[in-house]
Amino acid sequence: MRKVVFTDLDGTLLDRLSYSYDQTLEAISLLHNKRIPIVFCSAKTRAEQEAYRQELSIKDPFIVENGGAIFVPRDYFPFRFNHHKTANDYLVIELGISHQRVREVLKRIQAEVGCHIKCFEDMSAEEIAKDTGLNLRFAALAKQREYDETFKIEDTQEKIKAVLDKIEEAGLTYSHGGRYYSAMAGNDKGKAARILIELFGRKLTKIETIGIGDSQNDISMLKAVDMPVLVQKAESLWEEVNLASIYKVEGVGPQGWSRAIHELIGG
């Protein structure tokens, strides 16, 4: 039985405040030694995930922008499969609509509601870094969105509600991560994970999938895997999730991630 690990990044493999993965390095080395794939499944962009993949020597497929698309390194799977386009050395399976189409909808809604929607594309890397705690390099990478748009609404609660209602009326969905919203259409972490699970099953025959997350945004991915794992958030609390089979591991973010790998993989 071959294992495959699907993982969220922010607040899971990465510390939510410092974005450090130092506490996971030993566990990642264990997965590399056992030749267990590590599949990022995150809200982060392709550019951001590529940077972490390079730093951590991960060469497996990855899921970007909350399931907006799956990027599969060329020749990773020894068979043909349906995909929508090629990009550099990737075969790309697209689930979400383009960033540009999302942005057009937001601009239209801004004019209709008469409010100020400030998108990542409208902000400098310096502004994003100041707001998020990202360094300038990763703030610039976070701007390179392809399948959603991250934004904040600088207005009254009434107008914020009007914007969110109109986003849904336009056929888009949105998520809220504290200060920022993300708007998208078609993005689905769970669907993306299931597509990759089917491809891994064809390649490895018998597999057991592990999914690690920390928040409601990860639920669809966790439902798709054999062993869903929840690490602790700040204050050492777990997110309230309605998933009977969930394995709650002690440890906030990357500390919990590392513990989960050692407990479930061994070594």
Q: Which residues have a catalytic role annotated? A: 8
> Which residues have a Cβ under 8 Å from the Cβ of 191 and sit 6 or more positions away?
67, 95, 220, 224
**Residue type present at position 256:** G
Q: How many beta carbons lie within 10 A of that of residue 189, not counting itself?
A: 28
140: left (phi over 0), alpha (psi -120 to 50) or beta: alpha
Report how far residue 41's alpha carbon sits from residue 9's, in angstroms, rounded to the nearest whole number: 7
Backbone angles phi, psi at 52, to 5 degrees: -70, -40
CA max distance for the chain: 58
Q: At what angle do helices 254-265 and 25-33 cross, to 10 degrees?
A: 30
The torsion of the CA quartet 131, 132, 133, 135, rounded to 10 degrees, works out to: -100
